Amino acid sequence: MTGNDDGTAGQEESVSFAVTGEYRAADRRASWKARWGIGRMKMRIKPGLYALGSPDPDSPVFASANYRLSFDALRTSVKGDAWLLVLDTKGINVWCAAGKGTFGTMELTRSIMESGLGDLLSRKEIIVPQLGAPGVAAHRVKAYTGFSVIYGPVRAEDIPSFMAAGKKAAPEMRRVRFGFADRMALSPIELVNFGKYLLPAAALLYFFGFRADAMLTAATLLSSTLLVPALLPWLPGRAFAIKSAAAGAIGLAAAYPFLSQDLFHACARALVYLPVASFIGLQFTGSSTYTSLSGVMKEMRAALPVQGVSLAAGLAMVLLRRFI
């Protein structure tokens, strides 16, 4: 089957490894694990040239990252015989690797040269996922290798229609989406990242008798990692720091009725927990598909000091009440 994980499978003696377009239970498990951040190191595919079905000199060539999920999406979406050229992106998906430049002009050039594709094909042409474009300069690849780069659709599932239309992508296939399902897929990673600190913290607070704070800590974790992606389009503002503080406020509002706190304590807690939610929610800028570096820099310059001051003020209020 695939040359996966440890790179054992595949036929080493031929120029290319053989793969099928089947999606199996093991592939589904790998996808689930990746989402929760388990064993990401094992998500590598051996770089090189793969034969999907029985390709000939007229079959299309598709480039991919050596991240298992990118590769699986490609090999299961291409219907028909094809060559798959897997670049060494250190196990990182196409888009992230393109941002870093590991999925890029040089690696693509190197892979094309090493694969011997030039002699295998009747026409020098390679289909590169559009999300790889930030790292690839098509005209340079052409100059270095003689291969024309054709940018394929954003989503592998659109490959059949792209091929049927004579390797042309409709405008809709060229746009990234960021729908509900896309956003929720980002949630588990943040839940794990911050849960590993905040859940033990909540347990400790509970253990030492601060039951209200244990509950508010948990509410903050859930609202900033689940509500932020779920409600993103409807949360107020454009800045993630503000959207996330709003999500945090929803979490606190939901928890407050269960706690018997006076106004002073309620305000102090808001000053403590809202900046935490705001900070955690800011992390979604990284996986969101529409945030720019200039924008993130701008909002962080404004948000981090406010978050810090708010947190300090809230903690001071809590302590003040305790000792006076």
Partner 1 sequence: MSLKYLKGVATLKLDEAKCIGCGMCVQVCPHAVLEMSGRKARITDVDMCMECGACAGNCPVEALSLKKGVGCAAAVITGLIKGTEPACGCGEGGDCC
> By the criterion CB under 8 A, which residues form the site for partner 1?
34-35, 37, 40-41, 43, 67-69, 90-93, 95-96, 98-100, 130-131, 133-139, 151, 154, 169, 171, 174-176, 178, 185-186, 189, 232-233, 238-240, 282-283, 285-300
- The whole-angstrom separation of Cα 318 and Cα 205 is 14
CB of 207 to partner 1, least distance (A): 31
- The whole-angstrom separation of Cα 55 and Cα 52 is 7
Q: List the Cα angle 289/181/79 in 5-degree steps.
A: 85
Helix (H) or strand (E) holding 96: helix 94-100
Which of 143/253 has CB closer to partner 1?
143
- The whole-angstrom separation of Cα 221 and Cα 188 is 12
Which of 261/288 has CB closer to partner 1?
288
- What is the number of H-type helices and E-type strands within the chain? 15, 6
- The whole-angstrom separation of Cα 312 and Cα 254 is 24
**Structure-block tokens of residue 251:** 């979490």
Sheet of 82-86: strands edge to edge? 17-19, 48-52, 82-86, 61-64, 125-129, 148-152
CB of 71 to partner 1, least distance (A): 11
Which of 110/211 has CB closer to partner 1?
110
- The whole-angstrom separation of Cα 80 and Cα 164 is 12
Rounded to a whole number of angstroms, the CA Rg of the chain reads 24
- The whole-angstrom separation of Cα 310 and Cα 117 is 59
Which of 10/281 has CB closer to partner 1?
281
- The whole-angstrom separation of Cα 248 and Cα 11 is 53
CB of 35 to partner 1, least distance (A): 7
- The whole-angstrom separation of Cα 138 and Cα 154 is 16
CB of 216 to partner 1, least distance (A): 23
CB of 271 to partner 1, least distance (A): 21
Which of 213/299 has CB closer to partner 1?
299
CB of 162 to partner 1, least distance (A): 12
- The whole-angstrom separation of Cα 249 and Cα 97 is 36
Which of 90/211 has CB closer to partner 1?
90
Which of 216/280 has CB closer to partner 1?
280
CB of 34 to partner 1, least distance (A): 5
Helix (H) or strand (E) holding 84: strand 82-86
Which of 69/219 has CB closer to partner 1?
69
CB of 279 to partner 1, least distance (A): 8
Reported as half-sphere exposure (CB side, CA atoms, 13 A), residue 68 has a value of: 23
- The whole-angstrom separation of Cα 148 and Cα 299 is 40
Which of 189/271 has CB closer to partner 1?
189
CB of 175 to partner 1, least distance (A): 6
